[in-house]
Structure 1
């Protein structure tokens, strides 16, 4: 028997009435917390979802070291990715991605060098943040550009090529700065 694909599901779902689709969405909503978060962000409260995501990113990338909380880069990346799938707002994407970068950067500025994987994740998110920022109308870019410039400035002296990578990313995206 062939493995089901999205096209199979899509074909079956296209036959459902609006009432049946709403019932299905309700079932998916009740099925998991992840589905609830996604649907809330998509349809009900994107700002509230952003604040929840920021709290999780902070816990993951600027953990309470006094309480022996670990860095959780993968969890923070997943939160950003899930939010971006749920909310179709490039400014919100830029905000959360830049916040991710700011939190990770602040942690390493305070506590010193981490490891190559940590910096790779920050650099990758910086690239994604810059892509989101440049997709915005120019009038909306400036606050993000200023925050990015502050991250670049504060990363000076951090190893692993991190500062150089951030400098290159910012200079390529915004050569006039």
Structure 2
């Protein structure tokens, strides 16, 4: 062979090697190899029962809570409803880690200067606690508590999912904090 000419085998290798590397990188990428910790692939969620307590309720509270629990959705967005260990007529849980709802809890003691949020017609009082945010209705009887773990961003957006069933089922209290009062119609 003359100097400067390439054998057919060497030429085939020079062409095939870059193509093989490109195909390998593309395959790795398509199979999710570059996604790292920010992956959007859903992780398996637990379906085990969630430990919750079930204090005794007065008959009227028990009836109201049972009505609420029957109106709750089967899932919160992509978080399926999970069984609870106690109080199936007053408690519910969703997702992993679980977002929990307990009906018939003691009413929240809302300071006059506290922030309250009216979400779809229901007044909620949020407080940090239990590794997340605990939201308690401030204008309903019986009171409802929703606990949203810290791993969920925008906890109020999860709580609002419960406002419709709460508003449709539970009566408004006469002693709601000032920030919870519905707006009065203006006269023109």
TM-score by length of 1: 0.25
From the CA coordinates, give the structure whose radius of gyration is larger.
2
TM-score by length of 2: 0.24
